[in-house]
Amino acid sequence: MQAKFFSYLVAAAILTAIDPALAQQPPKIPRIGFLSSAGDSNNPGTQVEAFRQGLRDLGYIEGKNILVEYRYSEGKSDRTPSLVAELVQFKVDALVVTNPPSIRAAKQATKSIPIVMVTTADPVATGIVDSLARPGGNITGLTRLTRELSGKRLELLKEAVPGISRVGVLWAQGTSRNFKEYEPAARALKIPLQSLEVRGSNPDLEGAFRDATKARANALITVATATLSPYQKQIADLAIKNRLPSMYERNDYVEAGGLMSYSANDAESFKRAAVYVDKILKGTKPADLPVEQPTKFEFVINLKTAKQIGLTIPQKVLVRADKVIK
């Protein structure tokens, strides 16, 4: 009896020692995949920095209570499917994708991993989601209404530079629909457009600007695409060199030296993407998270660039700017 009682005591002691150890097992750290069309591992860019800030605002600390796998397509759309596949193989808890090509690739790659998109295109018209209110499937996120603002950009460019007679539109092969979005406003304003298409992952930007000069374009609009994103500074520098007032679809182009932009706030969009990730990690299904549209838009003017090209921005336009870079 004493031996049996002693055995019970030993077993109880072992269980007492094991239970706290089991209770102290660290919780699983969620892993997120983030595929950016801009920047690289050495210079992540504004999209990644804004997303990281959004995570910090929500109490996440990378490497401690959340892990993020970053991948960068660096403007090479042909790399997108393999980068998406790589992130899917990590079995991430959510996947953040930042342009139409990566969204389509992610949709084809997985039906189970929640996908948070930040898109310039209409996600309903392009068949990404069923509706904004009830996206269905495994994709939700934010649309930036980039295409819907095309006409407004052309109007602002005309107001800032009343004397423009022809506007060159710089766009990448495969995005002709984006170029065509400017045509109705151009007809209404009686401003001819000059198509400046560039091809491949190493676009001939200097050739495009030579074409603009030959066509006597005296202003420029650049369509924001994954192909052109890595060349923001080069495009801005060429516009300055050719003394072309320039309008852009994202404000980071203006930070790089472009003249003006009109868009949803870039940083706010990617901070909001972190909010979607947080909700998904806490159990909300993407199908039940409405796709968010921006309610505030930013008009940004770079006065330093205006001075470099000898342009005086009318005061009535300047006072409407949400941000002025001096």
Average pLDDT (95-117) is: 94
Cα torsion 199, 205, 210, 212: sign: positive
Residues 106 and 183 in one domain: no
Quick check: 17 pLDDT over 70?
no
The per-residue pLDDT for range 26-55, each reduced to its tens digit, is 678 999 999 998 777 888 888 899 999 999
For 252-269, the DSSP string reads: HHHHTT-SEEEEE-HHHH
pLDDT at 24: 57
**What average pLDDT does the structure give for the chain?**
90
The answer to the question of residue 10 being in a domain is: no
Q: Which distant-in-sequence residues (6+ apart) come within 8 Å of 306 by Cβ? A: 245, 259, 312, 313
> In this structure, are 49 and 92 located in the same domain?
yes
| Residue with more model confidence, 112 or 174 | 112
165 and 313 co-located in one domain: yes
Burial class (CB in 10 A: 0-12, 13-18, 19+), 187: exposed
Whether 14 shows a pLDDT value over 80: the answer reads no
pTM given for the model: 0.84
Number of domains in the chain: 2
pLDDT value, residue 171: 95
Q: Residue 19 has what pLDDT?
A: 52
> 197 and 169 in contact (C-beta within 8 Å)?
no
Inside any domain, residue 16: no
Q: State mean pLDDT over 76-82.
A: 86
Do residues 95 and 201 share a domain? no
Domain assignment present for residue 274? The answer is: yes
> In the numeric block, which tokens belong to residue 221?
């609009």
Same structural domain, 208 and 275: no
DSSP 181: T
List 261's β-bridge partners, or say none: 248, 300
Give the CATH number for residue 197: 3.40.50.2300
Flag whether 82 is in a domain. Answer: yes
Q: For 191-203, how does the pLDDT look when each residue is reduced to its tens digit (9 = 90+)?
A: 999 999 999 878 9
**Contact indicator for 244, 220 with CB cutoff of 8 Å:** yes
What is the C-alpha separation between 140 and 11, in angstroms, rounded?
Answer: 52
Q: Are strands 31-36 and 67-72 parallel, antiparallel or unpaired?
A: parallel
pLDDT in tens, 299-320: 999 999 999 999 999 999 999 9
* Residue (of 252, 204, 245) closest to 221 by Cα position: 245
Same-domain pairing of 190 and 306: yes
Residue 4 in this model has a pLDDT that exceeds 60: no
Residues 210 and 279 occupy one common structural domain: no
Q: Does the pLDDT value for residue 265 go beyond 70? A: yes
Place of tokens 């030296």: 257
- Domain for residue 23, yes or no? no
Dihedral pair phi/psi, residue 8, rounded to 5°: -60, -40
CB of 148 closer than 8 Å to CB of 203: no
| pLDDT of 68 over the 90 cut | yes
196 and 303 part of one domain: yes
- Residue 18: inside a domain: no
Beta strands 260-264; 297-302: pairing state: antiparallel
**pLDDT, tens digit (0-9, with 9 covering 90-100), for 118-174:** 998 889 988 999 999 999 999 999 999 998 999 999 999 999 999 999 999 999 988
Residue 25 belongs to a domain: no
Q: Using an 8 Å Cβ cutoff, are 88 and 54 in contact?
A: no
For residues 198 and 305, state if they share a domain: yes
Do 246 and 270 lie in one domain? The reply is: no
Contacts of 143 (CB under 8 A, 6+ apart): 119, 120, 121, 122, 123, 132, 291, 292, 293, 294
Q: Report the pLDDT value the prediction gives residue 78, as an integer from 0 to 100.
A: 81
Q: Look at residue 2 in the predicted model and tell me its pLDDT.
A: 53
Residue scoring higher pLDDT (181 or 7): 181
Residues 66-88: what's their mean pLDDT? 91
Same domain, 185 and 288: no
HSE, CB side, 13 Å, CA atoms: give it for residue 142: 22
Q: Domain range holding 128?
A: 31-145+265-296
Instruction: Judge whether 161 lies within some domain.
Output: yes
> Do 303 and 255 share a structural domain?
yes
Q: Which of 171, 167, 161 is nearest to 186 (CA)?
A: 167
Q: Tell me the residue type at 304.
A: K
